[in-house]
Chain A
Amino acid sequence: MEIAYFLGCIMNNRYPGVEKATRKLFEALDIELKDMEGASCCPAPGVFGSFDEETWATIAARNLTIAEDMGADIMTECNGCFGSLFECNHMLKENDEKREKINANLAEIGREFKGTTNVKHFAQILRDDVGFEKLASLIEKPLDLNVAVHYGCHFLKPTEEIGIEDQAENPSILDDLVEITGAKSVDYKDKMMCCGAGGGLRARDLDVTTSFTKEKLDHMTEAGVDAIVNVCPFCHMQFDQGQTEVNERYGTDFALPVFHLAQLFGLAMGLSAEELTFDAQKIDATPAIKKALGENAK
Chain B
Amino acid sequence: MKIRGVFSMSIINRLKTLFKGDNEESDINNDVSNTSDDVQVTSSKKIEVSISKKTTVARDSAHDLTFKKDIEPLEDPVEETVEKVPETVEDASEEIVEEVKAEEIPAETEEVEEEVSVEAEAEEDVEEVEKDSKNKDTERDKMTLLTDKELLTDSNRDPDFTAEFIDAGIETVKHCFQCGTCSGSCPSGRRTPYKVRQIVRKCLLGLKEEVITDDALWMCTTCYTCQERCLRSVKIVEIIKKARNIAAHAGYMAKPHKMTGVFVINTGHAVPINDAAKALRTKIGLPEVPPTTHAYPEALEEVQKLCKITAFDELIGYDEATGGLKE
Q: How far is the CA of A160 from the CA of B228 in the complex (A)?
A: 9
Max chain A CB contacts within 10 Å: which of B227, B245, B270?
B270
Give which listed residue, A19, A38, A40, A274, contacts B286 with CB less than 8 A: A19
Chain A: residues with Cβ within 8 Å of the partner, total of 68
Residues of A within 8 A of B300 (CB): 38, 40
Residues of B within 8 A of A193 (CB): 187, 223, 225
Q: Is A257 an interface residue (CB 8 A)?
A: no
Residues of B within 8 A of A49 (CB): 222, 241
Q: Is A168 an interface residue (CB 8 A)?
A: yes
Supposing A44-B264, A157-B228 touch, asked if A13 and B271 sit within 8 A by C-beta, the answer is yes
Q: Is A16 an interface residue (CB 8 A)?
A: yes
What's the minimum C-beta distance from B3 to chain A, rounded to whole angstroms?
43
Q: Mark B243-263, 1 if CB is under 8 A from A, else 0.
A: 011001100011011011100
Chain B: residues with Cβ within 8 Å of the partner, total of 68
Q: Is there contact, CB below 8 Å, between A196 and B221?
A: yes
Residues of A within 8 A of B284 (CB): 16-17, 20, 274-275, 277
Q: Is A28 an interface residue (CB 8 A)?
A: no
Residues of A within 8 A of B222 (CB): 45-46, 49, 153-154, 198-199
Q: Is there contact, CB below 8 Å, between A280 and B276?
A: yes
Q: Mark A189-225, 1 if CB is under 8 A from B, else 0.
A: 0001110111111011100100110010000000000
Give which listed residue, A38, A45, A47, A201, contacts B302 with CB less than 8 A: A38
Q: Is B62 an interface residue (CB 8 A)?
A: no
What's the minimum C-beta distance from B74 to chain A, rounded to whole angstroms?
45
Q: Is A169 an interface residue (CB 8 A)?
A: yes
Q: Is there contact, CB below 8 Å, between B298 and A38?
A: yes
Residues of B within 8 A of A203 (CB): 254, 256-257, 259-260
Q: Mark B295-313, 1 if CB is under 8 A from A, else 0.
A: 1101110110111011010
Residues of A within 8 A of B161 (CB): none
Chain B residues numbered 81-116 whose CB sits less than 8 Å from any CB in chain A: none
Q: Mark A29-59, 1 if CB is under 8 A from B, else 0.
A: 0000001111111011111111111110011
Max chain A CB contacts within 10 Å: which of B227, B264, B305?
B264
Please give me the residue from chain A that is nearest to B229 by CB atom: A169
Q: Is B281 an interface residue (CB 8 A)?
A: yes
Supposing A51-B248, A109-B306, A158-B224 touch, asked if A38 and B299 sit within 8 A by C-beta, the answer is yes
What's the minimum C-beta distance from A20 to chain B, rounded to whole angstroms?
5
Q: Mark A85-126, 1 if CB is under 8 A from B, else 0.
A: 000000000010000000001101101000000000000000
Please give me the residue from chain B that is nearest to A169 by CB atom: B228
Residues of B within 8 A of A252 (CB): none
Please give me the residue from chain A that is nearest to B273 by CB atom: A13
Residues of B within 8 A of A141 (CB): none
Q: Mark B200-230, 1 if CB is under 8 A from A, else 0.
A: 0000000000000000001111111101110
Residues of B within 8 A of A199 (CB): 218, 220-223
Give which listed residue, B219, B283, B295, contacts A201 with CB less than 8 A: B219
Q: Is there contact, CB below 8 Å, between B280 and A38?
A: no
Q: How far is the CA of A192 from the CA of B224 in the complex (A)?
A: 11
Supposing A38-B302, A158-B224 touch, asked if A13 and B315 sit within 8 A by C-beta, the answer is no
Q: How far is the CA of A159 from the CA of B188 in the complex (A)?
A: 21
Chain A residues numbered 143-195 whose CB sits less than 8 Å from any CB in chain B: 153-154, 157-160, 168-169, 192-194
Q: How far is the CA of A275 from the CA of B285 in the complex (A)?
A: 9
What's the minimum C-beta distance from A46 to chain B, rounded to whole angstroms?
7
Q: How far is the CA of A12 from the CA of B302 in the complex (A)?
A: 21
Chain B residues numbered 162-178 whose CB sits less than 8 Å from any CB in chain A: 168-169
Supposing A43-B264, A95-B169, A212-B191 touch, asked if A51 and B316 sit within 8 A by C-beta, the answer is yes
Q: Is there contact, CB below 8 Å, between B286 and A39?
A: no
Q: Is there contact, CB below 8 Å, between B228 and A50?
A: no
What's the minimum C-beta distance from A89 to chain B, rounded to whole angstroms?
16
Q: Is there contact, CB below 8 Å, between A41 and B296?
A: no
Residues of B within 8 A of A62 (CB): 302-303, 306
What's the minimum C-beta distance from B221 to chain A, rounded to whole angstroms?
4
Residues of B within 8 A of A53 (CB): 168, 241-242, 245
Q: Is there contact, CB below 8 Å, between A59 and B283?
A: no
Q: Is there contact, CB below 8 Å, between B269 and A47?
A: no
Q: Is B182 an interface residue (CB 8 A)?
A: no
Give which listed residue, B227, B235, B269, contacts A9 with CB less than 8 A: B269
Q: How far is the CA of A12 from the CA of B274 in the complex (A)?
A: 11
Please give me the residue from chain A that is nearest to B236 by CB atom: A158
Q: Is there contact, CB below 8 Å, between B270 and A44?
A: yes
Supposing A16-B281, A198-B221 touch, asked if A58 and B292 sit within 8 A by C-beta, the answer is no
Q: Is there contact, CB below 8 Å, between B269 and A40?
A: yes
Residues of A within 8 A of B220 (CB): 199, 201
Q: Is A10 an interface residue (CB 8 A)?
A: yes
* 23 A-B pairs (CB sep. < 8 Å): A9-B272, A12-B290, A13-B272, A13-B277, A16-B277, A17-B280, A43-B264, A44-B260, A47-B257, A49-B222, A51-B312, A51-B316, A52-B249, A52-B310, A55-B306, A59-B264, A157-B228, A169-B228, A194-B187, A194-B221, A199-B220, A204-B257, A205-B218
Residues of A within 8 A of B (CB): 7, 9-10, 12-14, 16-17, 19-20, 23, 35-41, 43-55, 58-59, 62, 95, 105-106, 108-109, 111, 153-154, 157-160, 168-169, 192-194, 196-201, 203-205, 208, 211-212, 215, 274-275, 277, 280
